[in-house]
Amino acid sequence: MKKKSISKKPAPRYRGIADALRNAIAQGRYKVGSCLPTELHLCRMFDASRHTVREALRTLTAEQLIVRRQRAGSTVVATHSPTVYAQSVTSIEQLLNYPETWRKTVASRQVRADAALAALLKCERGEPWFLLSTLRHPKGANTPMCWIDIYLQPRYAGVTRHRNHDNLLICDQIVEMYGETLDRVQMEIEAGLVPARMAKRLKVAAGSPALFVLRRYLNAAGDAFEITVSVHPYQRYRYAFEVRRSAGRGVPAPMQALRKLLVPA
């Protein structure tokens, strides 16, 4: 007895349109920062209804390839769907570092704090710093999870010669090479927009949403010898940590540790 062949249902029309647009974006026909054709134009291109075209655009929006704004159209913000790096924090070391990642130095130079940088770093205007601009990648991924500007006191610029410079925490390199003491760390997290100078390397559009993480590494005298500013494009990074309340009285031990670490700025 012959088995009945089961015919597969054709894929919805909007998926085919989404696939075609996705391929065009990946191939560079629509570059990051440019706009896709209007809905009406896409309807003509694909001989499809407006509803079908909108479903295709919703698909690309969900994949974080485009951003749609009223009266501004559909702007390409990435060439490939980003991989979200989720960091689960269970220790102080993990709170300061990004496990299972590697760092690539993009540039290094001496800078002096202008008004904007002085406000960001909470230092005196004109103060000299040694700047390391780096990209942080999850292992096995080509798309960076963030850009990190690392500001060091100029006397510590020699860390670039450390034998394990691209992998070890910079603060640990300073402690090892110069005998500096890390006493505490201040940490701030806020939303912002990707600066134009970082956009191409991060593979996103300039001005797209981002998460900014600022860490200030202080010695026993309360002086910041390292300050890092990490810029995470929208939905490429997630923080998750858990603290437990102890059975005894007073503040739980994990929270005490966090209080010591996250000193109010």
Asked if 126 and 146 sit in the same domain, the reply is yes
Give me the phi and psi of 33, to 5 degrees please: 100, -20
Range of the domain at 194: 85-261
Q: Is residue 1 part of a domain?
A: no
Assign 198 to helix, strand or coil: helix
Q: Is residue 53 part of a domain?
A: yes
Asked if 121 and 251 sit in the same domain, the reply is yes
Q: Digits of tens for pLDDT over the chain (265 positions)?
A: 555 555 556 778 898 999 999 889 888 899 888 899 999 999 999 999 999 999 999 888 877 788 888 777 888 887 776 654 444 444 445 555 555 678 899 999 999 999 989 988 888 999 999 999 999 888 777 788 899 999 999 999 999 999 888 888 898 899 999 999 988 888 888 899 999 999 999 988 899 899 898 999 999 898 999 999 999 998 777 666 565 555 555 544 444 444 444 444 3
Q: Are 39 and 57 in contact (CB under 8 A)?
A: yes
**What does the pLDDT read at residue 154?**
95
d(CA 121, CA 229): 9
**What does the pLDDT read at residue 102?**
81
From 76, 110, 129, give the residue that closes a domain. 76
Asked if 67 and 143 sit in the same domain, the reply is no
Asked if 99 and 204 sit in the same domain, the reply is yes
Tell me which residue of 216, 102, 214, 215 sits closest to 165, measured CA to CA: 102
Asked if 29 and 91 sit in the same domain, the reply is no
Q: Domain of 17: which CATH number?
A: 1.10.10.10
**What does the pLDDT read at residue 263?**
42
133: its two tokens: 């601009």
**What does the pLDDT read at residue 8?**
58
**What does the pLDDT read at residue 79?**
79
Q: Is residue 146 part of a domain?
A: yes
**What does the pLDDT read at residue 84?**
46
Asked if 57 and 165 sit in the same domain, the reply is no
How many domains does the chain fold into?
2
**What does the pLDDT read at residue 148?**
94
264: its two tokens: 């109010």
122: its two tokens: 């909470």
